[in-house]
Amino acid sequence: MNDVVLVVLGWLLGTLSPGIAESIGRAKRRRAILRVLATELHELRFKLALVLTRVRSKLRTMDQAMLDVVRPIVLGYGRDSEDDAGFMDATKKLLDKGDAAFIAVHNAPRPSEQTALFPVPYDAPFLKSRLEDLALFPARTQQRLLRIVGELDLFNGQVSFVRQAHDRTFDSSLSPENFAANASNLASGTAKLATRAEALIRAVNQVLAPDGKLLV
């Protein structure tokens, strides 16, 4: 009788082991992918917060709602960045003075007001390279990650529009009417760039906490 039981147990283990191993393997792959995604999206969101701040400051349309969007991102970034060290330090000091002061400074006229913004496109190469692995995740997580990809494409499309309008300001062949129309397109396109940056930030916020910890 004991021999029969051992044989049956051996058969069951042999049958179940591949499934168990596969399940463990999938869980490990999910964790590995999410760790890298968290790093990539944390960095991307911080850059977008800088874009949103600079565009709103350029347009002098900074308000409480926008401050509430960018503040947790800037304060929760927590990474050394030589390129943005000055901005980070100045922003934190200004935030210490209160919301009203922060908003007033960003909406105040400045000597560089005529300087044009020339945005750059951003990418999430790891996320895009792992789209075939989305089946490893629950449907809700898949939807949120795909939304980030879609919002990123819309943001970069707007970046392209603004850059083209900016380049056309140097086109001497434009008539006064066309030059004025392009200037209007540049202004509205820049405002829409802020809208697209905010939408992308909110998409990332669905999967990432302000300190970079995953919510999925």
* Global pTM exceeds 0.75: yes
Task: Give residue-wise pLDDT tens across range 119-172.
Answer: 999 999 999 999 999 999 999 999 999 999 999 999 999 999 999 999 999 999
Query: Position 105: which residue type?
Result: V
Sorted by where each begins, the domain ranges of the chain are 2-205
Q: What pLDDT digit, counting tens, does each position of 23-51 carry?
A: 556 778 888 999 999 999 999 999 999 99
CA distance between the termini of the chain: 49
Number of other residues whose CB lies within 10 A of the CB of residue 119: 21
Tens of pLDDT, residue by residue over 14-30, are 665 555 545 556 778 88
